[in-house]
Structure 1
Amino acid sequence: MKLANVLSAVNQIEKSKFVNFLDRVCSEASEQDKELAKRIRNIDGQIKDASSSEVTQLFKLAMPLLTREVKHLLALSGAQAALLVNILSRDGNCVTQISWIERLYAKEWKSINDHSKIIKELLDKEAEPGVFDENRRLGIYFRCLYEAFHNDELINREAKITDEERGILNVLAYQLDVTAEDKVAIEHLVHPIPKNGVQDCLNQLREIGLLFISKKEQTVYVPDEIVAMLHRIQGKQIADKHLLRILRTLSDAELSNILKAHDKRIRGIERTEKISSIFKMGLSVTQILAHDLHAEKTQLNEKKERLKTLVENLQLTLDKLGTTLEERISLIIDTLNNSADKEFNVLSAAGYKALFETIAKHNPKIVKLLREEFELEDNIEIDIERLRALSITPFDILYALTNDEVKELKTAMGITRRGDLRQVIVEAFANATDKLIDNYEALAKRDLATLKLNNIEISEADIGVKFEEVTKAIFEELGFAVDEDLRRSINTTKDKADILISLSDDDVIIGEAKTCKNGDFAKYSTTSRQIKAYANRCEAAGKRVSQVLIIAPTFSTDFIESAELDTEVNISLLEAAGLKKILEAFKARRNPNFSAKLLTKGGLLKADLIAKRI
Structure 2
Amino acid sequence: MKLSSVLSSVNQIEKSKFVNFLDRICSEASETDKELAKKFRNIDGQIKDASNSEVTQLFRLAAPVLTKEVRRLLALSGAQADLLVNILSRDGNCVAQLSWIERLYAKEWKAINQHSKRIQESIQAGSEPGVFDENRRLSIYYSCLKEAYLNDETSNRQAKISDEERGILNVLAHQLDVTAEDRTAIEHLVIPIEKSGVQDCLNQLREIGLLFIRKKEQTVYVPDEIVAILHRIQNKDIADKHLLRILRTLSDAELSNILKAHDKRIRGVERNEKIDSIFKMGVPAAQILLQDMHNDKSLINERKERLKQLIEDLQIKLEKLGTTLEERCGLIVDALNNSAEREFNVLSAAGYKAMFEAISRHLPDITKRLREEFELEENTEIDVEMLRALSITPYDILYILTNDQAKELKASMGITRRGEVRQVIVEAFANATDKLIENYQALAQRDLATLKQKNIEIAEAEIGVKFEEVTKAILEELGFDIDEDLRRSINTAKDKADILISLSDDDVIIGEAKTCKNGDFAKYSTTSRQVKAYVNRCEAAGKRVSQVLIIAPTFSADFIESAELDTEVNISLLEADGLKKIYEAFRSRRKPNFSAKLLTKGGLLKADLIAKRI
TM-score by length of 1: 1.00
CA distance in 2, matches of 1:489, 1:596: 23
Q: Which amino acid aligns with 2:496?
A: K
Equivalent residues in 2 for 1:6-405, closer than 5 Å = 6-405=6-405
Matched, 1:526 2:526: yes
Q: Which runs of 5 or more structure 2 residues have no equivalent in the other structure? A: none
SS in 2 for 1:77: coil
Residue 423 of structure 1: aligned partner? 423
CA distance in 2, matches of 1:5, 1:421: 34
Residue 413 of structure 2: aligned partner? 413
CA distance in 1, matches of 2:461, 2:112: 50
Residue 606 of structure 1: aligned partner? 606
TM-aligned CA deviation for residue 508 of structure 1: 0.3
Residue 589 of structure 2: aligned partner? 589
Q: Deviations over 1:278-323 (max 9, x none)?
A: 0000001111011110111000000000000000000001121000
SS in 1 for 2:15: helix
Residue 472 of structure 1: aligned partner? 472
CA distance in 2, matches of 1:416, 1:380: 35
CA distance in 2, matches of 1:548, 1:257: 58
CA distance in 1, matches of 2:125, 2:44: 65
Structure 1 stretches of 4+ with a deviation exceeding 2 A read none
Residue 437 of structure 2: aligned partner? 437
TM-aligned CA deviation for residue 127 of structure 1: 2.1
CA distance in 2, matches of 1:370, 1:156: 50
CA distance in 1, matches of 2:236, 2:586: 42
Q: Which amino acid aligns with 1:477?
A: E
Q: Which amino acid aligns with 1:604?
A: L
TM-aligned CA deviation for residue 163 of structure 1: 1.2
Q: Which amino acid aligns with 2:477?
A: E
Q: Deviations over 1:317-370 (max 9, x none)?
A: 112100001111111000000000000000001000000011010011100000
Q: Deviations over 1:148-189 (max 9, x none)?
A: 011111111111111111111111011101111100000000
SS in 2 for 1:13: coil
Q: Which amino acid aligns with 1:430?
A: A
**8 Å contact 2:126–2:136 — kept in the other structure?**
no
CA distance in 2, matches of 1:37, 1:136: 52
Residue 453 of structure 1: aligned partner? 453
CA distance in 2, matches of 1:56, 1:473: 27
CA distance in 2, matches of 1:398, 1:65: 37
**8 Å contact 2:112–2:184 — kept in the other structure?**
yes
CA distance in 1, matches of 2:34, 2:215: 37
Compute the RMSD of aligned alpha carbons: 0.5
Residue 507 of structure 1: aligned partner? 507
Q: Percent identity?
A: 81
Task: Choose 22-31 or 569-578, whichever is displaced more.
Answer: 22-31
CA distance in 1, matches of 2:114, 2:273: 19
TM-aligned CA deviation for residue 35 of structure 1: 0.8
SS in 1 for 2:14: helix
SS in 2 for 1:510: strand
Q: Which amino acid aligns with 1:271?
A: R
Q: Which amino acid aligns with 1:428?
A: A
Residue 543 of structure 1: aligned partner? 543
Q: Which runs of 5 or more structure 1 residues have no equivalent in the other structure? A: none
TM-aligned CA deviation for residue 126 of structure 1: 3.1
CA distance in 1, matches of 2:191, 2:249: 38
Residue 554 of structure 1: aligned partner? 554
Q: Deviations over 1:178-218 (max 9, x none)?
A: 11110000000001000000000000000000000001000
CA distance in 1, matches of 2:571, 2:330: 49
CA distance in 1, matches of 2:135, 2:517: 75
Task: Choose 200-209 or 288-297, whichever is displaced more.
Answer: 288-297
SS in 1 for 2:594: coil
SS in 1 for 2:189: helix
CA distance in 2, matches of 1:320, 1:407: 29
CA distance in 2, matches of 1:126, 1:303: 38
SS in 2 for 1:12: coil
TM-score by length of 2: 1.00
